[in-house]
Structures are given as structure tokens and as C-alpha cells.
Amino acid sequence: MSLYAATKKADELMAHVYSHLYGLQTIGLRFFTAYGPWYRPDMALYLFSDAMTQGRPIRVFNHGEMWRDFTYIDDIVEGVVRCVTGRGFDRYEIFNLGNNKSERIMDVIEILASEFGVKPQIELLPMQDGDVPATWANIDRIKAKTGYEPKTPIRAGIPRFVEWYKSYVMRA
């Protein structure tokens, strides 16, 4: 129950109707917590990195019991390319693009802190209205139709993100 979820559902419904009214192929892609270089500054890893490097506490909701399916940008791009170049899709398709594995937010913070060489300050907070404690992308459908298989585990992706963050954000 969130406006974010409602906008996603509305988009998929409009694409479905448009596809059937006008006979056009539509493929919807659900990105699951994409991250990497040039990552959005309003998303978790960026916010956590800013807080850690500036000595501020990291706000962690649901008292730290949050899980997210973090997906490295190279894997997202691979999935998009497979959908753009693929064949044999139904007229209307929706695919999840994710890592097919949830990561505990506290473990992600620990990896980030290790990469930055800092001890993070954590502010544990209750669950936010409209949020969910866990996300996980079931990629069975896109894997069957395109062969999509994410290749970047969180322990490989975070160091790449931190390298970019240090060279771009911290030097700016």
C-alpha cells in the first residue's frame, strides 16, 4: 500500500490496455533495487555512503530487519538488452530484473563500511508506512524466455560502486 507501488501498477495496466487496443508489443521491466556507478542519489546505497563518509548516522527502518534484492547495473542492462533483441515474446509481457536473492540491509551496510574503512553509526527506526520488509525478484520467466541470469553478487558490486563513489562523489 504505497503511492510508489500504485504508480507502477497503473503503468503496467496502461501498457496492457494500450497493447490490446492497438496491437502493439509491450514489455514491462521491474527493476529490483538497481545500484552501481551513476546511481541515483536518493537510493539506499548512495544515502548510506553519504552518511558513512560524512560521519552521520544511517537511518535503517524496521529496526534493521529489511531485505532487498540489490541488482548491479550491468545485470540490469543485460536484461534490457535481452528484451530489446529477443524474439518470441507474447504481445504483453512483464519481467522482473533482479539478482534473484534478497540481501539483509545490515549486511549490506557492513560491506559498505568495510569498503570505506569506517564504522557506521546506525539509527534504527520503525517500519515506514507503505514499505515492505523484503523484496525478491522471481526471474524464472525472463530466464526462460531470454536466458537472463544476473552475474554480479553484492560482494562484487558494492566494491565497484564504492570505487566510483570515491573517485567521483568524494572528489567533486
Domain range summary for the chain, segments of one domain joined by +: 3-168
* Calpha distance 55→51 (Å, rounded): 6
> Does the pLDDT of residue 21 top 90, yes or no?
yes
CB-CB contact of 95 with 142 (8 Å): yes
Question: What's the whole-model pTM score?
Answer: 0.91
> Does the pLDDT of residue 172 top 80, yes or no?
no
Among the options 4, 39, 72, 165, which is catalytic?
A: 4
* Fold topology of 3-168: Rossmann fold (3.40.50)
Number of H-type helices and E-type strands within the chain:
6, 8
Query: What are the phi and psi torsion angles at 10 (to 5°)?
Result: -65, -40
Is 35 known to be catalytic? no
- List 60's β-bridge partners, or say none: 124
Q: What is the pLDDT of residues 2-13, one digit of tens each?
A: 788 899 999 999
* Calpha distance 87→81 (Å, rounded): 12
